[in-house]
Amino acid sequence: MLEIAKKYEDNPKVAILMISIDSSKEKWFDYIQKTNPQNYGVELHIPDGMNSEFGDRYLIKSIPKYFLIDPEGIILSSDLMEPSIGMDQLIEREIGKIAF
């Protein structure tokens, strides 16, 4: 995911949001300090998110889970496969639909 976040870091049509639902904020923070020191994308933490209203609303039953959301906040896909060429192609196709 970090490779995709890096690729689109200067594209105003794309925002990569990575949400952790770990129970420990400290462990999450230590992990992102090690794995994403360049701060690609936006990192957020929702404590125990899988067992919360957040998890219920977004049907998060396992992790990782990938979504594609348009600029209006509409979920275009809630079952994306892991970061891949296919995910990148889908992002590119959706970017082409966004008018700025």
Q: Cis peptide before 64, with omega less than 30 degrees from 0?
A: yes
Integer CA distances (angstroms), 4 to 54, 55, 86, in order? 24, 24, 12
- Separation of alpha carbons 72 and 4, rounded Å: 21
The predicted model gives 5-14 an average pLDDT of: 91
Question: Residue 66: what pLDDT?
Answer: 86
Closest of 88, 87, 69 to residue 78, by C-alpha: 69
The string of pLDDT tens digits covering residues 13-69 is 889 989 888 888 899 999 999 999 999 999 999 888 888 888 888 888 778 888 888
The string of pLDDT tens digits covering residues 61-93 is 778 888 888 888 888 888 788 888 888 888 898
- pTM score: 0.78
Question: Residue 100: what pLDDT?
Answer: 66
Structural domains of the chain in order of their starting residue, each with its CATH number: 2-93 (3.40.30.10)
Question: Residue 97: what pLDDT?
Answer: 85
Integer CA distances (angstroms), 40 to 1, 9, 26, 56, 83, in order? 9, 7, 19, 27, 15
CB 38 within 8 A of CB 47: no
